[in-house]
Each structure stands twice: as C-alpha cells, then as structure tokens.
Amino acid sequence: MAKIDIHVNILRYQPDSDEKPHWQEFAISVDDDSTILDVLNEIHWKHDGTLAYRRSCRSSICGSCAMKVNGRNVLACETPIHRFGRKFKIEPLSGFQIIKDLVVDLDPFFEKLKRIKPFLIVDKPLPDKEFVQTPEQLEQIGESTLCILCAACSAACPSSWPNSEYLGPAALLKAYRFVFDSRDDCADDRLEIVNDKNGVWRCHTIFNCMEACPKKIKITEYLSRLKLKVVENSL
Amino acid sequence: MKIEEARNYHQIDAVIVGAGLAGLRAALQVAKSGLTAAVITKVYPTRSHSGGAQGGIAAALANVSEDSLEAHMFDTIKGSDYLADQDVVERFVNEALKTVYEFEHMGVPFSRTKDGRINQRPFGGHSQPRACFAQDITGHVLLHTLFEQCLRHNVLFFNEFQVLSLQIKDDVCRGLVAWDIRTGGLHIFQAKAVLLATGGYGRAWKVTSNAHANTGDGVALVLEAGLPLEDMEFVQFHPTGLYKHGILLSEAARGEGAYIVNDKGERFMKTYAAAKMELAPRDVVSRAEQTEINEGRGIQGQDYVYLDLRHLGKEKILSRLPQIHDLALNYLKVDAITDPVPIQPTAHYSMGGIPANLNTEVIKNAAGQVVKGLYTAGEASCLSLHGANRLGTNSLQDAATFGRIAGSHMTDYCRKNAFADLPAKPLEAAQAKIDRLFAGGKERHADIREELQVNMTRNMGVFRNQDGMLKMLAVIKELQDRYQQAGVDDKGLAFNLDLIEALELENLLSFSEVIVEGALARKESRGAHFRSDFPKRDDGNWLKHTLAWRRDGKIVMDYSKAVVIYPQYQPQERKY
C-alpha cells in the first residue's frame, strides 16, 4: 500500500446556490488500494464537507452508493480506483432528478416497483410448516432475488431515459421473481400489468442493464423469459 | 399557531424508528391489525443493515438433523456465558419456528433440501445444523421480503429522516422529533406507541463490520432522555472480518467447513476449542485469533490470519458462499477458490442496548417499571437474549421474533390508549442541536470521530485492561469537550450529510462513555468482555446486569437487576 495523487472530477449541484450542475476537480492523495467510496469519504471528511452522496453498508449489499464513474454505473463501495487510473470523473446516476451532488431522487424508481405488486400473494391455505419448493423450482428465481434495488440498471437503460412511464428493468425483474415463484398465486395479474407498451415490450434487449448490474444478474434474459410467459399466457 | 396545525406535524398510532428486520416486522404487525404504522428511517428501508447479515436465521426446524427447542435454548444460554435472561431465551426459542415459517410464507427464497424443505447449516456454538439460510444472503432476502409485505399492507414510510429527540414526560412516551434529511427541517411525530429499532452501535470502532448508519442513535436518545442502558460493555468481535476493511465474511464459511490458519499453516483452534474447532462461538474464536496475532503467529507476523476455503472446492464456494467469494475478490483481489483470505477480528454486534421486558416495553429501572408507549426490539434492545455473547444466526431470529412481539403489544397499547399530549416546546432540544452545529466552531467532526474510532479499536477490543480503558475514558472526555467546538462546512438544508454525520458523532461520543465505564467497573471476563487483568468469570460478584444512566454529567451504575436463571440451566464452566 502506498499513497498516490489523484485528480477526481465530481459533478456538483448544490440546490441552495447552483442553477445547474457543474464539474469540480479535487486533487488529493489517497491509498492506492482505495475504493471510490474511500475517495468520496476522504474529500467529504478532510476537504469539503458540503459534498453529498449516499452510502451505508460498504459491502455491496445495501445498494445506496450506485453512481457513475467514467460513464459506468458502479457501486462506489466495491469499486477500486485502480480500474480508472489517476484521473477519473464521478457523477450521479442518469435518468433521475438530482437532489444534491451525487444524491438523486429515487422515489419514482420505488413507485414503479409498487406497480407490479412486488410481494408474494398466496390464495391457497397456508401449510403448517414451509411450502415444498424443490431446488429446481428455487433455481428459477434464485438469481433474481439477489437484486439490491440500487437502480444502476434502470439508470443505464436507454429505453427508460426518454420515457418516465416505462417500468424499467428493476421493476420488471421483480415481476419475473414473483411470476416464476412456485408459491405465488398472482401471476396472471402481474403478467397483465407488464403486458403493456410501458411494460416488458418497452425492453428492446439492449443489455445495458445487465452490464450495469453490480450483482451480475442476467436481467435481460429474465425479462425475455417474462415476455415469453406473457405471450404464452395470452394464447 | 398551534403545533397541530404546523405543516410538519404528524399524528400516527405507531411510529417505528428503524427499517431493519425488527422495525419492519413490528410495522407489518401493527399495519395488519388495521392501525396506522409509520416507519422513520435514515436510509431507504432496503438499505438497512439487517441486509448485511449473511449466514442464516436460527430455528430448530430439525429438517436435516435431530434438534429440539431445549437444545437451542441451552446453546443460546451457554453461548451467552450465562448472562442471558432465561425467560427471554425460552420465549425466543418457542417463537422461532413460527417466525421462520411465516417468512417462508411471505416468500423468502430459502435454500432447499433435495425434498424441497428449508435447508439448514451448522453455525458456531449451535449443537445442531440450525441455521436456515438463503445462500449467504439470508439477511438481504429477509429484509427485502419484509419490505415487500410492508408495501402490501400500506405501512407509511418516512425515508431519510433522522430522529433527534424523544418526547417523554411523566414516564409516558408521546412521540418524537425528526429531521427531514432530503429537504431539511424538523417534523413532529405524535404517537401512541414508539418503537426504537435503530440497530447496533459498532460504528464507535474503526475496524467494524457495521454500516455507516450503525451509530446507535436510539441508544443515545434513550440515554439523553434520562433512561438507563443495559450491559453496554458487551460488544461482539466477529472473527472473520475482511482484513483492513472489517467488513463481514460470514461464519457460514466455517459452517460449510472453512478453516482458520496461522502463519505456520496450523488450524490453531485445536489449542483453544479442540471439540468445536472453527465452530466455537465468536468470542472464543476471536480471542484465539487475536492471541495468535499478538504472539507473532499472524501471517508474516502481521495483524491478520487466513480463512481458508480452498478445500471446499469451486462448486461449493460459488453455490453456497458466492457473496464471500465476491467480497474477497473485489476488496482484496483474493480469489477464495485458489487462495486463503486475510481476516481479522472486527467489531460486529452490540449485545447491550436499551433495557426492555419480555413484552419489549422499555424499562426505566432495575425494578422493571416501564416507560408507557415506548418499545424496543432488535440489536438496539437488551432484553437480554444474548447475554455476554450472541450466537451467529440468533440475531436475525431475535430481530424478527421480538419485532413481531413488539408490534402485537404496540397494537394492544394503541387500542387501549388515546394520544398523550406532547410536552411544551417539543422542537426545542432538536432545534438546539441543529443551531449549534450551524453556528459552528473550528473543530472538524470527522477528525473527532476518527480519533474516537481508532482509540476504541485500540483500547476496547477483544482484550481489555484497566490502563487502556482509563486512557480511553480520558480520550472520550477530551473529544466530548472538543465536540462542543465542532461545526459543519455545509450550511444548506437539502441532503446535508455533513450535518447528519456531526449529529451521529454526538451519539457515538455519548454512549461510548457508557461502554467504557461499564467495562471498567466489570472486573471479570465474561463472553465478549475479556479483561487481561481479570481473566476469569466471576459468578459470585458479577452474574448480574449493568444498568447505567447519565446523571449530572456522570455515568452512574446499578447492578440490582438480577439475571433470570432457571434451575435446569445453572451456570457451568464454558468449554467447547
């Protein structure tokens, strides 16, 4: 471990004083094994306390710190700076309104989630113990339950940018997660909700979401399976 | 203008502070009864640190082995080094199965046995494979599932709100005041019942598995309200923190068979816990690890040892422990399939906290008198279920089970009681905290926090002694003084992270003093509290809980709250 000098450009926006976002460069010295989050903390704690960003767990599971580094959506906490060299730029996720600096308004993201009934719905009587679900049945949904709702996928989706009504990859992945859960009894309702020009059909299999996903979930593939299910269901 | 007419005034039956497992489970219980439940959380709910729990949730389902409630109870009591209240443990194990089946019915994607039942794995200190798990992301899926069910049942969410004061008068809690982080400004919440489910206080340490958010806010609010805290000196150090980062590598690795080795390549646990080896409880393993490091057998003489997964094979590592594999790869560039992973003990879990009875009602003294309308559950609370040391996978179970119990009791209380009047000038205390920081002094709060954390890791770690603790106390006093001169760079209202961190620091400085005073006074070693100068457990003098208040600027202690012990579970020597 050694100290290195880096130049970080951050897209700043202070709602009390700025009319629009602008770049600010910070020249600082950090450990060479630092993460992007370490860099933000260093700036915030030692140089400029006004810098705002979200962070919590530091271990890639809470989903707070999704942001754009050199144009790529990443989780700041798990991303080492050596991927980007000694000069790089950090900006907030695209497609969301900026509240301040790197903090964006994710309320629309969570509102979309609510539209697909994002919870298991069981009509049959509950068993005394657990539902039987085989490892093969679990396999259908296993990877999709890794989603941490960080919004990196939706922010990377060109179909989402021009159309605020589009459900987007995260909400659709959540729909997939319940439609394909062997315990759920509400697939028909969900398939009807996503069978819409602002549902699965707005996904043009661009694969940006998959590339952006820090959990490496094969989102586009699951959305394709969801499309297939919609078609099967309407035949 | 009357308070009730103010824009930022809310009247809600049950207000729950914290959106982790305990808070969400309580909110769900209240909301399902038809009453209004609001969750106030400083992060979006799915960002809560329950999601960081990896290995499993304990329940004696007996799906993969013979198991019993009695065995779970005994293991928990022994794990606690006999400081747990056994009536609480009994209630806990009796409710645990129901809690897991409920979760499964809500949609939790538990890993399965071949015949489709919930799979279970071994965990430290448990005599049977009792950890129900979803790969190594158990906390994550439990948290998200609960959040989903809360959406279904119309729980109200106040996301990104920081609670700054409790409204308590005449031993009745009437609500609280919180700062809206996103836009700035204080909000008054008048409530019939308030739950503090604010999680642990591990952020007082530099090397910690805890999230930035885990600053013990609820614990500090209770202390500030003139109420006691319980057993704060008991803090668990997790043996497998990722080296330098402190972030958690789940005990599930060892549950699946991973080894811990020193510089000589020895599985040194054979010296410390020959029967259980790596699956001894966390306090035992962390002490062993720290001893190896202190005696020069850390890797290349440095302050870490290895967690070795290689013999488990690629398939098992990637299917059962994918998150651990990713964390080591991303943070240390170590591939656990081919190389051992550097680890060190890391501050992990707060056994102490806000004292409460079996109904989760907050108590104000050793006699058990309650503060009406005030409840606590999860890591913020001290019932005491975990005593001096918690077993892995008992925390998710604790949070969910006592979250549900809290929700039920809050519902009853709300039905039977009207809203109590708020005290005069409810905003005053909260406003004063904000004003002082905005007026500001020359001290940087980040520097003060750094000094606190570094010194807590140095002096209040796995091994403690009087000299170190007295030094720590002096450091805290000095830092508390300096905090009076602390200000913020950011004078804006919207998303003022600078302000939030400064407010959190006040909390860290406040309860850290209680931790140190409690540890100094307790002249014995029990569970996670180990004193090199008093290395034995002393049941004659110290089989009792610590209650601590801040009175006139001093920490005062009361030891008359006895440990609840059943005849069949008398304290014995603790060997593994």
Minimal CA separation from B468 to chain A, in Å: 27
Q: What residues of B are in contact with residue A38 (Cβ under 8 Å)?
A: none
pLDDT at B7 over 90: no
Query: How far is residue A221's CA from residue A212's CA, in Å, rounded to a whole number?
Result: 14
| Contact status, residue A104 vs residue A52, Cβ threshold 8 Å | no
**pLDDT given at position B3:** 60
Are the Cβ atoms of B43 and A110 closer than 8 angstroms? no
Are the Cβ atoms of A130 and B488 closer than 8 angstroms? no
B282 catalytic per annotation? yes
Q: From the DSSP assignment, how many helices (H) and strands (E) are in chain B?
A: 16, 22
Q: Which domains does chain A have, with CATH numbers?
A: 3-104 (3.10.20.30), 107-234 (1.10.1060.10)
Are the Cβ atoms of A145 and B116 closer than 8 angstroms? no
Q: Is the ipTM of this complex over 0.85?
A: yes
Q: Count of CB atoms within 10 A of residue B101's CB?
A: 20
Query: How far is residue A25's CA from residue A48's CA, in Å, rounded to a whole number?
Result: 12
**pLDDT given at position A1:** 72
**pLDDT given at position B2:** 59
pLDDT at B4 over 90: no
Q: Which of B109, B245, B496 sits opposite A142 (nearest CB)?
A: B109
Q: What residues of A are in contact with residue B45 (Cβ under 8 Å)?
A: none
Q: What residues of B are in contact with residue A114 (Cβ under 8 Å)?
A: 151
Measured between CA atoms, the residue of chain A closest to residue B214 is A56
Write down the mean pLDDT value for chain B.
96
| Contact status, residue B298 vs residue B305, Cβ threshold 8 Å | yes
Size of interface A-B (CB pairs under 8 A): 166
A235 pLDDT band (50/70/90 cuts)?
Answer: confident
pLDDT digit string, tens, across residues B454-472? 999 999 999 999 999 999 9
pLDDT at B106 over 60: yes
Q: What is the mean pLDDT of residues B68-85?
A: 98
Closest CA to B400 of B414, B420, B385, B418: B385
Query: How far is residue B230's CA from residue B378's CA, in Å, rounded to a whole number?
Result: 14
Q: Catalytic one among B25, B121, B203, B282?
A: B282
Closest CA to A141 of A187, A196, A72: A187
pLDDT at B1 over 90: no
| DSSP code at position B119 | P
Minimal CA separation from B97 to chain A, in Å: 9
Query: How far is residue B142's CA from residue A113's CA, in Å, rounded to a whole number?
Result: 18
pLDDT digit string, tens, across residues A67-99? 999 999 999 999 999 999 999 999 999 999 999
Q: What residues of B are in contact with residue A52 (Cβ under 8 Å)?
A: 490, 495-497
Q: Which of A56, A132, A141 sits opposite B43 (nearest CB)?
A: A56
- Cβ of residue B323 closer than 8 Å to a chain A Cβ: yes
B154 burial level (CB within 10 Å; 0-12, 13-18, 19+): exposed
Query: How far is residue B492's CA from residue B481's CA, in Å, rounded to a whole number?
Result: 25
Amino acid at position B287, single letter? R
Prediction pTM value: 0.97
- Cβ of residue B247 closer than 8 Å to a chain A Cβ: yes
**pLDDT given at position B281:** 94
